[in-house]
Amino acid sequence: MTAMVIKVTKSFTFDAAHFLPNHKGKCASMHGHTYRLEVTVVRENGNLMDVGSDEGMVVDFYDLKAIVTTEVIDKMDHKVLNEVLPFRTTAENMAAHIFSVLTDKLQSSGVLVEKIKLWETPDSYVEVCLE
Ligand SMILES: [Zn+2]
């Protein structure tokens, strides 16, 4: 059989305000985005759970949604990001932060974050991937 990796992706949207101090353009002023977040995960062996409630799954979509909602969406939705994040709120920094936070939360259950895709506008996104 051809080798394959099975991945699962869940998408979220949230609204938030931010500004980029020292930015040469308009982003220095407070403004808002509707961010779109796509979280892609795999199991450590690239395979599926073989026992229990999650048999045949990478991860239960319900569980993935709950973790991302608690760890990311609830903390950023309708917030001024500069007030809740301890770094310059570029989409790059935010995506890297989300990658780390979710990796920490999911690792113990054998699930790896394979990719974080964060859309800042409908035609601009940042990706952070497992190396
Ligand atoms: Zn912006």
Residue-range domains of the chain with CATH: 8-20+31-48+56-129 (3.30.479.10)
Non-local CB neighbours of 25 within 8 Å, separated by 6+ positions: none
| Extended beta strands in the chain, E state | 8-18, 31-43, 79-80, 111-121, 124-129
- pTM for the whole thing? 0.95
The residue from 27, 33, 71, 92 that is catalytic is 27
Range 14-20 average pLDDT: 98
Give per-residue pLDDT as tens, 22-46: 999 999 999 999 999 999 999 998 8
Q: How far is the CA of 94 from the centre of ligand 1 (A)?
A: 12
Q: What is the mean pLDDT of the chain?
A: 95
pLDDT of residue 114: 97
The answer to whether residue 27 is catalytic is yes
Q: Cα(7) to centroid of ligand 1, in Å?
A: 30
| Known catalytic membership, residue 129 | no
- Single out the catalytic residue among 44, 78, 127, 129: 78
